[in-house]
Amino acid sequence: MDDLCNYIGGRFVTHSDDQWLDNTEPATGSHICRVPLSDSSDVDAAVAAARSAHLAWSALSHSERADWLDRIADALEARYEDVAALESRDTGKPISLARDVDAQRSVSNFRFFAGILREHEEEVFEMASATNYVVHKPVGVGALITPWNLPLYLLSWKVAPAIGMGNTVVCKPSELTPMTADLLMQVIDEVGLPAGVVNLVHGDGAGAGAPLVAHSDVDLVSFTGGTSTGEKVAASAAPAFKKLSLELGGKNASIIFADCDMESTVAGVVRAGFLNQGQICLCGSRVLVEDSIYDEFRDRFIDAVEAMRVGDPSDEATDLGALISGQHLEKVQSYVELAKQEGGNLLTGGAPCMPVEFEHGNWMAPTVIEGLSPDSRCSTEEIFGPVVTLHPFSSEDEAVAIANNTRYGLAGSVWTGDLEKGKRVSEAIETGMVWVNTWLHRDLRVPFGGVKDSGVGREGGKWSLGFFSEAMNVCVKHD
């Protein structure tokens, strides 16, 4: 595999300094490619390219830009298997997941935003003596910064609405998973998108991300990543009043009532806890179970967790792959050690598990812990790995109190046969999104985002179109 290049002004270019980062496969530890460690001069060049493309691009109509999004979707779809294979190799996730979730959503993000752009209608507010109409103008140059867990899924979720609304952008993907961002630039180049509309700078947070957010010619920042990085991004963007969207960490509760359908609930809660090795911001890592069914649920849950196949990400039958890096594996393991100190009882997992032939990868057995206080650090802090804690509760109020007992407020799920109770409990949880009797059931039209330390603002559907534009009211007095 070649060294990667930045994509600036419609060309693949080398970065200014000869500093590189080794990109390795999480499953095997073997080398994939070198990633440019770009610096502020590369960021300057990318922002300048985005600025010079802005006037012409912002002058196109919504439907002309929607046509471009469709062309990108078609070209990306033609590379569907490449996206899945690269994403699986780069992140360590199972190929089936990379195909069904990452590749599928990356294509549908472009198609979906093309569709809603075409339907986007001018809002009009009539008064007795005047008519108001609302124009959605582009914001300008956007900085789009993404994490490693859903690399192209999240990058395409930002690029499509951002350029669809007439902005030009500079992308900064995670330095740990640069491969599909590079592939997207190849696709964008192939379809002939006007130069400078989408630019990409590879590199780490300090060298490339921070100068991009701070750049005086960047008008908007859409950031997805950890809460502590989000704090730095917010502090850097605030003095210039940049438009800012922050999608940050989570510590989500799955609340299981005694009247749930046991079989589908166990399957759903296992999926919520462990999909992508638990490395999804929406994962339900705290499982709260009504005390009358606690023992039965726990036993069936453990059986289902132990039945998951951990192994070769390229094997179609694999359920769980590797963790993203050695450093992240250490962090996740340190929480298991902490859980023991905090009085937790390890029910399964807890140790690294290294399938044969993969001993240099970052492997961790799916882990379930009970007996922790709902106030403990393991039960309230984001671990972001295959670790789930179980907690009994005896009333609706107690379940809601435990669910809300964290600094995060991103997502959650409620499992019950009583849909009125499901809705009542959902609305009492302090989060941006809750599912009832399902999880990660996504309609791209709905708002997505968190409260408390899980973020600021909403993206998704018309909320993305709103974020990536400035609404301007024009009031015309009648004759």
Active site residues: 247, 281
Strands 412-415 and 435-436: parallel
What is the nearest approach in angstroms of ligand NAD to the Cβ of residue 359? 24
**Identified binder of ligand NAD from the candidate list 369, 410, 414, 436, rule CB under 6 A:** 410
d(C-alpha 257, C-alpha 271), whole Å: 18
172 binds ligand NAD (CB under 6 A): yes
Please list, in sequence order, all residues whose beta carbon lies within 8 angstroms of the beta carbon of residue 418, skipping any fewer than 6 positions away.
257, 259
**Identified binder of ligand NAD from the candidate list 25, 247, 290, 370, rule CB under 6 A:** 247
**Identified binder of ligand NAD from the candidate list 301, 384, 463, 468, rule CB under 6 A:** 384
Site for ligand NAD in 221-240 (CB under 6 A): 224-226, 229, 232-233
- Site stretch for ligand NAD (CB under 6 A), options 24-32, 170-178, 386-394, 470-478: 170-178
Residue 349 or 457: the one with the smaller Cβ distance to ligand NAD is: 457
318 binds ligand NAD (CB under 6 A): no
Annotate each residue in 115-154 with x if it binds ligand NAD (CB under 6 A) or - if it does not, as one string. ------------------------------xxxxxx----
Residue 189 or 204: the one with the smaller Cβ distance to ligand NAD is: 204
411 binds ligand NAD (CB under 6 A): no
Annotate each residue in 29-68 with x if it binds ligand NAD (CB under 6 A) or - if it does not, as one string. ----------------------------------------
Residue 226 or 326: the one with the smaller Cβ distance to ligand NAD is: 226
- Site stretch for ligand NAD (CB under 6 A), options 80-88, 104-112, 208-216, 292-300: 208-216
**Identified binder of ligand NAD from the candidate list 169, 281, 368, 372, rule CB under 6 A:** 281
**Identified binder of ligand NAD from the candidate list 382, 392, 416, 469, rule CB under 6 A:** 382
What is the nearest approach in angstroms of ligand NAD to the Cβ of residue 335? 14
CB 411 within 8 A of CB 447: no
What is the nearest approach in angstroms of ligand NAD to the Cβ of residue 152? 13
Residue 309 or 407: the one with the smaller Cβ distance to ligand NAD is: 407
# of chain residues touching ligand NAD (CB under 6 A): 30
- Site stretch for ligand NAD (CB under 6 A), options 32-40, 202-210, 305-313, 438-446: 202-210
Chain mean position to CA 142: 18
Residues that bind ligand NAD (CB under 6 A): 145-150, 172, 174-175, 204-205, 209-210, 213, 224-226, 229, 232-233, 247-250, 281, 382, 384, 410, 450, 455
